[in-house]
Structure formats: C-alpha cells, structure tokens
C-alpha cells in the first residue's frame, strides 16, 4: 500500500516528462533565429534560412508586472520601451538588410512577480523555448545583476535599464554581451561632492536604504565627502518596511548638518521629505537619489514646497530638442506618471542606439550587433552616443547627473557644462502651511 | 475506488519505479532545454512541499519555517560556492539547515496550533532582518554573485535530492518515527502517555525534513545567480509549500506532489500568458479550489476515476498514456 | 534629556495608535470569525487608496472620507464572509481545518485585491500632503497629522470597545467569540454575527488605511507589511483579545520608537525578537488568560 503511494508521484513525474516529449519547445512565434554559426566577419554570408518565413523581430522581457518591484518598472523603462516599440512599428519596423525588408517588433512580456528566481527562469524560457531574437532587461539593480550572467551565457545582447552599481560594473567586465546604460554613483557622487565644497557644506547626514543601491551610494558618498574634508557625523540605514523616518530626521537635525542626503527609493524619499516638512527640518541641502526626478513627486508636495530639493538624474525638456520630443511623447502616451527625468532619456537613447546597431548590422546576429554596440558611435537623443571600454554608456553622453527643483521645473544643475539652470543654495525653508 | 486498486498495483511495481526514474534521468536527451529548467523548478517545489508535509502532514503543526531552511541553503552556496565543489556545498547546505532546524525545533515545538505557525514565520523574518542589518551595517556586503552551473547538472542534483526525499519519506512513514509522529498528530498527550518521547520525535523529524529544503536551496542558488537577504529569505517560500500541500490534499502522500506540480505549472502558464492578470487569476483559482475541493486536488481524483470507470473500458487506455 | 524622552515616547505612542487600530481589526477577525486574515493589509491598502482618490480627485477631506471608506469596506468584508468564509466554515469538518482553509482563502484574496488595485490605480507610489504643520511639546516636535490620526485611532478604538461592551449586537459578538455553539442555541444568528465581525474587522483596517494615507506614501503592494505588524501586535496582546491588541499596539510603537532612536535599521529586528521571546515565554500574550 505504502509502496504504491510512493510510486504515484513518480508516475506523475513521468506524465510530465511525457507531456514534455509531446510538445517540445512550443514556440509562440514563427520559428526564428537566424543561423549564428557563420562567422559574421566573412563578407559572403549566406541568406538566413528563415528569410521567407520571418515577418517580425521578437523581443522578450521577464520583468516585474506585479509585486513591489512593479512600481519601479512602471514609472521607469516601461515608458520608453513601450513608446519605442509603438514608434518603430508605426514606421513599419526595423529595416534588416539580410531580410531585405522592414520587420515590425513583437514584444513578449512575462511577469516575474517581483521574484528573482522567477525572473531568471522566465528569461531562460524566452531564450531557450520562445527563442526570441532579443531581450529587454528586467527592472532594478539587483535584477540586472541576476540577469546579466544569463544573458551573457546564451550570448544575448542586454542593454541595461533601471539600475546600475559599481559592483555591477566589475561583474560586467567578464560579460561582453552586457552593457550598462544608466548613470550611477560613480559619476553622480563626485560632482555632487565638488558642489558641496563650492557651497561650503561642512557636515552631511546620510540616510540609506538597506539594499545594493543604498549601500553603494552611501559608501561612495562617505569616501568622496571625507576625501574633500567634509564630515559625516550621522549615518543611518533603514529597511524597506520602515515608515517612520522621524528618528533619522531628528538625528540629522540634532547634529545640525548642512546637507541631508537620502540614498533610497521613491516610496522612502516621499516619506522622508514629507516628514522633514512636517517636522520643519530645513537643512541647507536636501538630497534624495531615486524619486525626486518625477513630476508626480513634485505634485505630491506641490512646486513651491519642494523648491530647491536636489536629486539624482537628470534631464529635462531643455536638454535637447530630441529630449523635448521624447518628453512630449511620454506625456501624451502616459501622462505625468510617465515622466521620469533621471533614467528615461538614457533608456530612450539606448533604444535608439540599439535600433541603429541592428540596422547597421543588417542581421539579427547577436555577435555582430554586440561588436557594433561596443565600438560604434550613433546619433541619439543624447547627441553622439557610444559605450566606453567598460561597456557603460560613456560619461560624455550623459545628459546630466544631478537635478534640482527650481520654480516648479526639474533643472539639471550638475555637471556644470550640462546645467540648464543655476543651482539654488541654500534650499529655501519649506513654506509654512 | 476498489475496482481501481487492481490497476495501480500491477502497474506500479518496483520495475516501473526504476523505469520512471530512468526516463526522468534521461530527459535531458529528449526534451527541450527549457523543459529541463521548468522540471528543475517543479522538482524544487515538490521537494519543498513534500518535506514540509513529512512533518506538518501527520502532526498538523503548520510550519512557516521553510523559507529559513531554504534560505540557509541558498546562503551557503552564495558564501562557499566559489571555494568548494558543488556537491559538498549542497551537502553543507542540507546539514546547516538540519542544525538550524534542530535549534528551532527544540525552541519552538512546545507551542501548538496557530502559535507555532506564527512563531516560525517570525523566525524567518528575524533571520532575514538581522542578516540584512548585519550585512549592510557591519560587513558592508552588497549582495553576492553565485557561480553559474550547467542546467543539466542542476537538474540531476535536484532529481537526486528528490529521489532521496521520496525514499526517506517512504521509509520514515513505515519506521517507528513515522508511527510515533502519526500518533502525536492524533493525540499528543496520549502519545506521551504511551512512552513516546514526543519532543524528540517532533524535533528529529522536523530537522530531517529541513535537510532537503536546505539542499534544494543550495543547488537552486546557482540558478538564481544573484543573492541578497531579501531574495534568500523570501517569506513566500514559507507559504508556498503549505499552500501547495493543502491545495494538493494532505490525506495522501502523493497529494503534496500533485499540488506542487500543478501549482508550479499553473503559475508558469499564468505569468507567461496573462502577465498583467496573473495575480487575479491565480487568486481566483486558489479561492475556487478551496471552496469546491474540500480535500484538495487529491479529493477530486477518486471522483474522476469513478466517473471514468463507469464510462467503460476506453478509460483504461486513456489513463495509461 | 526630557526632550529626548519626550521625542521617543510621544513618537512611539503616535506610531502605536495606528498599530492598535489595525491590530484590533485583525484580532476581531481571528478571535471571533476564526479567519487568520493574511489579506488584512489589502483592506488597509484599499482604504488608503479610496481616501487618496477622494482627496486628490474630488478634494474631499481625509477625515470626511472616513465616512465613505467605512461603509464601502464594511460591505466588501461582510459580503466576502457571506460568500466565501461562511461557506468554508460549513464545509469544514473541524475548527482547525477551517482555520487552515480560511488562511488559504485569505491568501487568494490577497492576490485578487492587489491585482484589482493595480488595475484601478496603477502601481506607482502615491501620496498627498495633509496637515503638514507640526506641534511642539517642551521642545520636542511632532507632525500634526500624526496626532490627529492617533487621536482618531484611539477614538475609533474606544467607540468600538463600547460597542462591544454595551450594544446588543456587541454582546452577541462576544458570546459568539466565547462559545459559538451555545450562542447559537441562545438565539444568536451566528452566521450574521461572524459576517458582521469580519466586516467590522475590514472596516477598522480601512480606517487604518485612511489614517495611514494621511501620513505615509501608499502603493498597491503596501499591505503585507501592515499585516505583519498586525500579527505581531495581536500575538503581543494575546490572540483574540481586543483590549490586548489595543494595548499591544502602543507597546510595539514604543519599542519601535526606542530602538529607532538608536538605530532605525534594528527596529524590525527588535519587533521580531520581542515577538519570539513573548511567544516562547508567555504565548498567551500580555492580556491572555
């Protein structure tokens, strides 16, 4: 009797494997993938064997569409990615020489439920089973970390979106197919620290989120600030679940620091800003990494309230005519919720870059396209755009590192040669209600 | 039900058992590469669910600690994966979970019912938050990258763990421990009166069940590539085994297996086919299943069997394919 | 020194008021209706989002919104019990089986409610500014909206306590909590009482959500963290003890505040340490028998 019970599960497993034989790798799209065996450098490439059947380019993405991580995707790269796919398809698609025609994009999205394990599994499904032509990255730094080795293993080009970290940069050196698009602490913190010196900031309080983002930004800030002779008497951290930031604010207030820096995500930056307003805490500099760059962030507090608030970023309509065009397109399609004035122009540029790389390659071969991305310069909304030897979007192409709310507009203030307005210092006190 | 007994008995002999094993073991030769990935995930959930049911099934103690054992395994690989051979790491993962379970069991198994459930849940959260605090504030660790391992290797190790678990479950059920556990579930005081060392039996079975969760975590970590405390000690991995086991039906040994397989497969289909409505559909399925399948999916099987049987001989053919 | 003590103690009490409110709802649902409502936080989330919508779209004062949020969420909770939990209760062979199943059903609800909220409101973090002034107590400064929220939480809690103690239906609820079988023999419509309890628990969660939206940012995935707080508080106060939950909320708020003064990152660790120690030493909770 018991033996029988033991065997039934195994019979079930057998059934699964039988099902697996019955329907091996059911593709949801026409059988695709061009031959990748031919060395791409050879001048006479035979036509791909799917030249008659292919009628689209399939891009797959395993990303958080539910759970806590969805919010970062929904207000971040989802906007440029959606716009790009729509625009490309409105023009008939991307011209690929090998096929002698324009191929529209088919975008498959799977929900990773904000779970890393699921993301990794679904990414492999997209690559192995759906045999998509390209992948879009998942959302947020630690997800990029998890996806990067997988993309590289199967030699799929991955242009990162939301997220970046100095330790990710180290990892990427061994992963030739992975490129980082967004700017992060290594370019943002030094210019901010220089500006602090210029303003005469003597003391800083740091409040960081207990994840990769917070740890990296706070470490970098600590070293860059102390290097410049600025003291950091208060350094506190908070996990995701904390709602009450008042002990941290009061600690900064008691230490009477000049600048209060919050290395954390939108939800937490809203909390810390709201509670600083309530407590009437007015440091000369109020800085938050992720969050302040959004129009909805301004609207939560109203423009006069957050006058002078500084944050990570940055770009705006004045950055370039192409930036203004993208801004208007985002606004038309997604409303104010779609305006992210830190990352979205970076992602938009990376997609324009990607499109030109495919067109230049004239093939869908990952290796050829990877080499083009690594070496070529294309014109995008950021002007001439290229990736540096560390596979990062070159610092020269960044539209800006740090932004500030001035007269209800998100202005680029650092670095100085890309600034769209003169920074305000000190931050005016919160208006009294 | 009686008419059925004939078929399984003759059908499922030890020879068939081996055949199934061989078929599964050989599956990398004949199924698509992604099917191997999917099977690995299914095995993982079957391991978590069945090892959860080893202890919680007979005793009725709802443990919400699996995430702790699973997470310990994950963390062992994240820390030692680069230094030691994979199999050794998996072994250490299982062992570490065993030790942790001994400690947790000894501390908590005095509590009963809902108290035990929320206490184990609290322990997982405590471990997670403490580790998080420790890593960010004391050691300054920024998450860990895990070595990549070939999918087939992960598949085989996971399969091996599953087979070991099945054998353990089978022998445990027939051993003195299994019988003692059963009587504890029926009436703990009476069992103690009969001279059973109630605490020891509970703690040891609890710890044995943790070995497999830890080993599964240790091997799964190589699949996940990036590990931090939020990922490793996700409370979802405490709830899912319980959900899957109850969903499948706890009355029989194969209930949790069926629950885990169907649950995982359903999730796979929903997250890929209906990404924006995944939670909604999943929730509805869960609620409907609870409302209309009082004994889990397993409770449904006899009903279906009977209906098919009455229809005539053609059912036999269908059932065996 | 006095300023520091005041800072810590008052902040703790201000935090505790909300904890108490959400825990009382949770306690009612578990203590009487026997549903360990893991979706409790989702009702908080719904309350918060309705209040947010009222304020930002229609300009309705969050305090006025309470009168709108309450009935809506009460009806949702009441109907959920009628359609789902009451049927589960009848079909379950034993109370223990019912507890397991209702936990599972609540887990399904958590998924459904969260997904529906994303479909209605989107996934972005939301918030609004309300009563952003502050008040000072011998040099220690606190936000006005928290004081208002805490006073309301206490007020609602007291009103609810009086309702249980004095009103006829309140007495029926207490009878049902102590002994459902006898209560139904005594002519108490047990199904109605349980549905009422579940609805009232949801209503208190909704009120909690309204008050939370006045102070904190909100998003569809916010619920679970409040569910965890509710579980901790309810254990602290003793499972099923309404008064215990109320007091437990304030205790947890105080503990959190004291630890956070020293190291905010450890406040959650402290919550769980207390929670676990209490369960090991005195599982019945501070007010349990």
- The CATH number linked to C167 is 1.10.3470
Helix, coil or strand: residue B235? coil
Q: How far is B135 from chain A (nearest CA, A)?
A: 9
- pLDDT over 50 at B4, yes or no: no
Report the DSSP beta bridge partners of residue B45. none
Neighbours of A31 (CB within 10 A): 11
Identify which of A38-47, C124-133, C203-212 has the greatest average pLDDT: C203-212
Q: What Å distances lie between residue B35 and A115, A125, B28, B153, C191, CA to CA?
A: 20, 9, 9, 14, 48
Sorted by where each begins, the domain ranges of chain B are 32-262, 283-315
Question: B-chain residues within 8 Å CB-CB of C231?
Answer: 118, 121
Q: Where does residue B149 rank: exposed (0-12), middle (13-18), buried (19+ CB within 10 A)?
A: middle
Higher pLDDT, B90 or B305: B90
Q: Which of B246, B276, B286 lies closest to C100 in CB terms?
A: B246
The predicted model gives B230-238 an average pLDDT of 89
Asked if C88's CB is within 8 angstroms of B290's CB, the reply is yes
Chain-wide mean pLDDT for chain C? 85
Asked if B129's CB is within 8 angstroms of C283's CB, the reply is no
d(Cα A327, Cα A106) in Å, to the nearest integer? 24
pLDDT band at A11 (very low <50, low <70, confident <90, very high): low
Asked if C123's CB is within 8 angstroms of A70's CB, the reply is yes
Contact yes or no for A224/A204 (Cβ under 8 A): no
d(Cα A418, Cα A325) in Å, to the nearest integer? 18
pLDDT band at A46 (very low <50, low <70, confident <90, very high): low
Question: A-chain residues within 8 Å CB-CB of B276?
Answer: 65-66, 111
- pLDDT over 50 at B316, yes or no: no
User: Distance from first CA to last CA of chain A, Å, rounded?
Assistant: 76
Q: Which of B60, B115, B122 lies closest to C283 in CB terms?
A: B115
Asked if B60's CB is within 8 angstroms of C96's CB, the reply is yes
Q: Is C132 domain-assigned?
A: yes
Q: Which of residues 194-253 of A touch C (CB under 8 A)?
A: 210, 236-239, 241-248, 250
pLDDT of the residue at B13: 57
Residue located via tokens 């992602």? A347
Contact yes or no for A62/A119 (Cβ under 8 A): yes
For chain A, the helix, strand and coil percentages under 3-state DSSP, each to the nearest 5 = 45, 20, 40
d(Cα B230, Cα B232) in Å, to the nearest integer? 6
Question: B-chain residues within 8 Å CB-CB of A21?
Answer: 30-31
Q: How far is B110 from chain C (nearest CA, A)?
A: 8
ipTM: 0.84
d(Cα C83, Cα C87) in Å, to the nearest integer? 7
Lowest mean pLDDT among A378-392, B29-43, B139-153, C176-190: C176-190
pLDDT of the residue at A80: 94
Question: B-chain residues within 8 Å CB-CB of A115?
Answer: 234, 236
Omega cis (within 30) before A415: yes
Lowest mean pLDDT among A96-105, A361-370, C89-98: C89-98
**Tokens of residue A155, six digits:** 């030699």
- pLDDT over 90 at A228, yes or no: yes
Beta strands in A147-299 (DSSP E): 158-159, 178-179, 203-209, 231-238, 259-263, 285-288
The predicted model gives A192-200 an average pLDDT of 95
pLDDT in tens, B84-123: 999 999 999 999 999 999 999 988 877 777 788 888 888 9
Q: How far is A103 from chain B (nearest CA, A)?
A: 24
Chain-wide mean pLDDT for chain A? 87
- pLDDT over 50 at C142, yes or no: yes
Asked if C123's CB is within 8 angstroms of A278's CB, the reply is no
Q: What Å distances lie between residue B140 and A221, A222, A232, A378, B76, CA to CA?
A: 14, 13, 17, 39, 18
Asked if C269's CB is within 8 angstroms of B62's CB, the reply is no
DSSP B248-286: H-SSSTHHHHHHHHHHHHHHHHHHHH-GGGHHHHHHHHH
Q: Is C287 domain-assigned?
A: no
Question: A-chain residues within 8 Å CB-CB of C126?
Answer: 296, 300
d(Cα A160, Cα A144) in Å, to the nearest integer? 7
Omega cis (within 30) before B195: no
d(Cα B60, Cα B58) in Å, to the nearest integer? 6
**Tokens of residue B225, six digits:** 């590539």
pLDDT in tens, A106-165: 999 998 888 898 999 999 999 999 999 999 999 988 899 899 999 999 999 999 888 888
Higher pLDDT, A14 or A235: A235
**Tokens of residue C133, six digits:** 């002034």
pLDDT of the residue at A1: 42
Task: Identify the helix (H) or strand (E) that includes residue B38.
Answer: helix B33-59
Containing structural domain, residue C50? 2-281
d(Cα C85, Cα C76) in Å, to the nearest integer? 13
pLDDT band at A35 (very low <50, low <70, confident <90, very high): very low
In a mutational test of the C interface, the residue from A139, A242, A244 whose CB has the highest number of chain C CBs within 10 Å is A244
Q: What is the DSSP letter of A135?
A: E
Q: Tell if the pTM clears 0.90, that is, is over it.
A: no
Task: Identify the helix (H) or strand (E) that includes residue A370.
Answer: helix A366-375
Q: Which of B107, B121, B286 lies closest to C107 in CB terms?
A: B286
Q: Which of C15, C128, C263 lies closest to A300 in CB terms?
A: C128
User: Distance from first CA to last CA of chain B, Å, rounded?
Assistant: 20
pLDDT band at B57 (very low <50, low <70, confident <90, very high): confident
Question: A-chain residues within 8 Å CB-CB of B134?
Answer: none
**Tokens of residue A143, six digits:** 């997800």
d(Cα B137, Cα B153) in Å, to the nearest integer? 36
Question: B-chain residues within 8 Å CB-CB of A65?
Answer: 275-276, 278
**Percent of the residues in chain C that have a pLDDT greater than 90, as a whole number:** 20
Q: Is C165 domain-assigned?
A: yes
Q: How far is C111 from chain B (nearest CA, A)?
A: 5
pLDDT of the residue at C279: 84
Instruction: Name the residue in chain A with its Cα closest to that of B170.
Output: A6
Identify which of A314-328, B170-184, B263-277, C82-96 has the greatest average pLDDT: A314-328
d(Cα A21, Cα A25) in Å, to the nearest integer? 9
Instruction: Name the residue in chain B with its Cα closest to that of C279.
Output: B119
For chain C, list the contacting chains (3+ Cβ pairs, <8 Å).
A, B
Phi, psi of A223 (to 5 degrees): -75, -40
d(Cα B303, Cα B163) in Å, to the nearest integer? 29
Neighbours of B63 (CB within 10 A): 27
Asked if A274's CB is within 8 angstroms of C125's CB, the reply is no
Phi, psi of B194 (to 5 degrees): -75, 5
**Tokens of residue A43, six digits:** 């001048």
Kindly report each contact of residues B10-19 with a partner whose C-beta sits within 8 Å and lies 24 or more positions away, as own/partner. B11/B320, B12/A3, B12/A4, B12/A7, B12/A8, B12/A11, B14/A3, B16/A7, B16/A11, B17/A6, B17/A7, B17/A10
Asked if A211's CB is within 8 angstroms of B230's CB, the reply is yes
d(Cα A360, Cα A380) in Å, to the nearest integer? 14
Neighbours of C226 (CB within 10 A): 27
- pLDDT over 70 at B143, yes or no: yes
Torsion of CA A271, A272, A277, A283, to 10 degrees: -170
Chain B residues interacting with chain C (CB cutoff of 8 angstroms) = 60, 62, 107-108, 110-111, 113-115, 118-119, 121-123, 125-126, 129-130, 132-133, 136-137, 239, 243, 246-247, 276-280, 282-287, 290-291, 294
Report the DSSP beta bridge partners of residue A262. A207, A288
Q: At what angle do helices B86-108 and B198-224 cross, to 10 degrees?
A: 140
Asked if B27's CB is within 8 angstroms of A20's CB, the reply is yes
**Percent of the residues in chain A that have a pLDDT greater than 90, as a whole number:** 62
Question: B-chain residues within 8 Å CB-CB of C223?
Answer: none
Q: How many CB pairs under 8 A join B and C?
A: 104
Chain-wide mean pLDDT for chain B? 84
Q: What is the DSSP letter of A125?
A: I
Question: B-chain residues within 8 Å CB-CB of A14?
Answer: 20, 23-24
- pLDDT over 90 at C261, yes or no: no
> Nearest Cα to C208, choosing from C194, C196, C222?
C222
pLDDT band at A9 (very low <50, low <70, confident <90, very high): low
pLDDT band at B298 (very low <50, low <70, confident <90, very high): confident
pLDDT of the residue at C77: 93
Higher pLDDT, C126 or A34: C126
Question: B-chain residues within 8 Å CB-CB of A125?
Answer: 34, 37-38, 272
Asked if C7's CB is within 8 angstroms of A267's CB, the reply is no
Q: Is C185 domain-assigned?
A: yes
User: Distance from first CA to last CA of chain C, Å, rounded?
Assistant: 38
d(Cα B104, Cα B295) in Å, to the nearest integer? 30
Q: Which of B34, B129, B271 lies closest to A124 in CB terms?
A: B34
pLDDT in tens, C83-114: 898 888 888 777 777 887 888 889 889 999 99
How many domains does chain C divide into? 1
Give me the sign of the Cα torsion angle A264, A270, A273, A274.
negative
Torsion of CA A381, A383, A388, A393, to 10 degrees: -20
Q: Is A153 on the interface with C (CB under 8 A)?
A: no
pLDDT band at B314 (very low <50, low <70, confident <90, very high): very low
Question: A-chain residues within 8 Å CB-CB of C107?
Answer: none
Contact yes or no for A150/A336 (Cβ under 8 A): no
Q: Which of B133, B239, B276 lies closest to C265 in CB terms?
A: B133
For chain B, list the contacting chains (3+ Cβ pairs, <8 Å).
A, C
For chain A, list the contacting chains (3+ Cβ pairs, <8 Å).
B, C
Contact yes or no for C119/C51 (Cβ under 8 A): no
Asked if B243's CB is within 8 angstroms of C283's CB, the reply is no
Omega cis (within 30) before B224: no
Question: C-chain residues within 8 Å CB-CB of B59?
Answer: none
> Nearest Cα to A394, choosing from A220, A187, A157?
A187
Q: Is A282 on the interface with C (CB under 8 A)?
A: no
**Tokens of residue B223, six digits:** 């699949």
pLDDT of the residue at C81: 92
Contact yes or no for B39/A16 (Cβ under 8 A): yes
> Nearest Cα to A33, choosing from A179, A155, A211, A164?
A155
pLDDT band at A423 (very low <50, low <70, confident <90, very high): very high
Q: Which of B23, B24, B271 lies closest to A113 in CB terms?
A: B271
Q: What angle do CA C33, C36, C37 make, to 5 degrees?
A: 95
- pLDDT over 90 at A371, yes or no: yes
Asked if C112's CB is within 8 angstroms of B279's CB, the reply is yes
Phi, psi of A310 (to 5 degrees): -110, 145
Phi, psi of A102 (to 5 degrees): -80, 135
**Percent of the residues in chain A that have a pLDDT greater than 70, as a whole number:** 89
Q: Is C289 domain-assigned?
A: no
pLDDT band at B199 (very low <50, low <70, confident <90, very high): confident
d(Cα B155, Cα B162) in Å, to the nearest integer? 10
d(Cα A384, Cα A41) in Å, to the nearest integer? 25
Q: Which of A242, A270, A278 lies closest to C145 in CB terms?
A: A278
Q: Is C159 domain-assigned?
A: yes
């Amino acid at each position: 009797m018991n033996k029988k019970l033991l065997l039934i599960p195994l019979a079930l497993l057998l059934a699964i494997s039988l099902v697996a034989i019955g329907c091996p790798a059911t593709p949801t799209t026409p059988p695709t993938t061009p031959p990748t065996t031919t060395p791409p450098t050879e001048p006479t490439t035979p036509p791909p064997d799917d030249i008659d059947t292919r009628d689209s380019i399939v891009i797959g993405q395993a990303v958080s569409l539910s759970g806590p991580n969805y919010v970062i995707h929904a207000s971040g790269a989802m906007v440029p990615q959606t716009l790009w796919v729509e625009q490309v398809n409105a023009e008939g698609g991307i011209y690929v020489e090998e096929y002698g025609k324009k191929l529209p994009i088919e975008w498959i999205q799977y929900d990773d439920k904000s779970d890393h394990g699921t993301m990794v599994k679904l990414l492999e499904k997209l690559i192995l089973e759906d045999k998509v032509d390209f992948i879009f990255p998942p959302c947020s730094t630690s997800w990029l970390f998890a996806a990067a080795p997988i993309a590289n293993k199967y030699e799929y080009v991955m242009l990162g979106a939301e997220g970046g970290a100095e330790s990710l940069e180290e990892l990427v050196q061994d992963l030739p197919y992975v490129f980082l698009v967004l700017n992060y602490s290594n370019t943002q913190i030094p210019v901010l620290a220089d500006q602090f010196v210029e303003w005469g900031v003597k003391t800083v309080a740091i409040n960081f989120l207990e994840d990769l983002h917070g740890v990296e930004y706070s470490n970098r800030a600590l070293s860059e600030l102390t290097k410049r002779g600025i003291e950091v008497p208060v350094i506190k951290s908070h996990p995701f679940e904390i709602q009450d930031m008042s002990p941290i604010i009061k600690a900064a207030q008691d230490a009477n620091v000049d600048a209060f820096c919050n290395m954390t995500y939108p939800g937490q930056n809203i909390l810390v800003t709201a509670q600083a307003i309530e407590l009437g805490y007015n440091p000369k500099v109020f800085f938050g990494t992720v969050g302040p760059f959004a129009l909805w962030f301004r609207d939560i507090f109203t423009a006069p309230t957050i006058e002078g608030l500084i944050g990570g970023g940055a770009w705006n309509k004045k950055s370039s005519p192409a930036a203004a065009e993208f801004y208007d397109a985002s606004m038309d399609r997604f409303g104010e919720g779609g305006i992210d004035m830190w990352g979205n122009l970076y992602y938009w540029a990376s997609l324009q870059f990607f499109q030109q790389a495919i067109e230049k390659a004239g093939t869908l071969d990952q290796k050829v396209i990877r080499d083009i991305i690594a070496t070529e310069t294309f014109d995008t909304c950021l002007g001439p755009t290229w990736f540096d030897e560390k596979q990062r979007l070159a610092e020269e192409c960044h539209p800006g590192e740090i932004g500030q709310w001035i007269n209800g507009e998100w202005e680029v203030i650092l670095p100085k040669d890309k600034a769209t307005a003169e920074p305000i210092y000190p931050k005016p006190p919160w208006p009294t209600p | 039900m009686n008419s059925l007994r004939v078929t399984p008995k003759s059908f499922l002999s030890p020879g068939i058992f081996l055949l199934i094993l061989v078929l599964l073991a050989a599956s990398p030769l004949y199924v698509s590469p992604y099917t191997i990935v999917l099977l690995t995930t299914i095995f993982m959930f079957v391991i978590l669910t069945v090892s959860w049911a080893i202890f919680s099934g007979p005793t009725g103690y709802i443990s919400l600690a699996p995430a702790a054992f699973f997470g310990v395994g994950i963390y062992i690989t994240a820390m030692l994966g680069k230094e030691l051979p994979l199999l050794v790491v998996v072994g250490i993962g299982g062992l570490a979970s065993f030790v942790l379970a001994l400690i947790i069991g000894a501390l908590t198994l005095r509590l009963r019912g809902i108290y035990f459930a929320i206490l184990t849940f609290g322990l997982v959260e405590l471990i997670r938050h403490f580790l998080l605090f420790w890593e960010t504030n004391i050691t300054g660790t920024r998450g860990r990258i895990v070595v990549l391992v070939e999918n087939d290797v992960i598949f085989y190790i996971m399969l091996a763990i599953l087979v070991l678990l099945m054998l353990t479950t089978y022998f445990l059920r027939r051993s003195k421990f299994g019988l003692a556990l059963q009587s504890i579930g029926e009436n703990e005081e009476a069992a103690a009166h009969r001279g059973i060392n109630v605490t020891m039996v509970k703690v040891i079975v609890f710890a044995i069940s943790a070995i497999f969760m830890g080993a599964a975590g240790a091997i799964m970590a190589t699949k996940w590539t990036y590990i931090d405390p939020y990922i490793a000690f996700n409370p979802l991995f405490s709830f899912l085994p319980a959900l899957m086991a109850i969903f499948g039906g706890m009355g029989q040994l194969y209930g949790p297996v069926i629950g885990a397989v169907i649950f995982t497969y359903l999730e796979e289909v929903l997250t890929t086919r209906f990404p924006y409505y995944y939670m909604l559909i999943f929730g509805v399925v869960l609620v409907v299943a609870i409302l209309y399948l009082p004994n889990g999916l397993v409770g449904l099987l006899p009903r279906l069997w009977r209906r098919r049987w009455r229809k005539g001989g053609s059912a036999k053919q269908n059932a065996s394919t | 020194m006095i300023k520091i003590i005041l800072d810590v103690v008052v902040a703790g009490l201000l935090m505790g008021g909300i904890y108490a409110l959400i825990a009382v709802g949770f306690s009612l649902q578990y203590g009487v209706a026997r549903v360990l409502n893991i979706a409790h936080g989702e009702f908080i989330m719904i309350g918060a989002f309705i209040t947010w919508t009222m304020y930002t779209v229609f300009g309705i004062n969050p305090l006025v919104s309470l009168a709108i949020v309450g009935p809506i969420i009460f009806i949702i909770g009441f109907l959920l019990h009628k359609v789902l939990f009451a049927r589960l209760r009848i079909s379950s062979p034993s109370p223990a089986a019912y507890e397991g199943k209702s936990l599972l059903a609540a887990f399904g609800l958590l998924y459904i409610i969260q997904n529906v909220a994303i479909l209605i409101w989107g996934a972005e973090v939301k918030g609004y500014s309300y009563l952003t002034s502050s008040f000072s107590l011998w040099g220690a400064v606190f936000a006005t909206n928290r004081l208002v929220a805490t006073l309301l939480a206490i007020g609602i809690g007291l009103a609810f306590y009086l309702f249980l103690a004095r009103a006829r239906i309140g007495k029926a609820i207490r009878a049902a909590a102590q002994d459902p079988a006898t209560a139904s023999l005594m002519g108490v419509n047990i199904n109605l009482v349980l549905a009422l309890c579940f609805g009232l628990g949801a209503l208190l969660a909704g009120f909690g959500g309204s008050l939370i939206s006045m102070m904190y940012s909100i998003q569809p995935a916010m619920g679970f963290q409040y569910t965890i707080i509710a579980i901790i508080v309810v254990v602290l106060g003793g499972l099923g003890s309404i008064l215990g939950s109320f007091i437990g909320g304030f205790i947890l708020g105080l503990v959190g505040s004291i630890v956070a003064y020293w190291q905010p990152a450890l406040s959650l660790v402290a919550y769980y340490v207390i929670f676990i120690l209490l369960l090991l030493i005195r599982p019945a909770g501070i007010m349990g028998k």
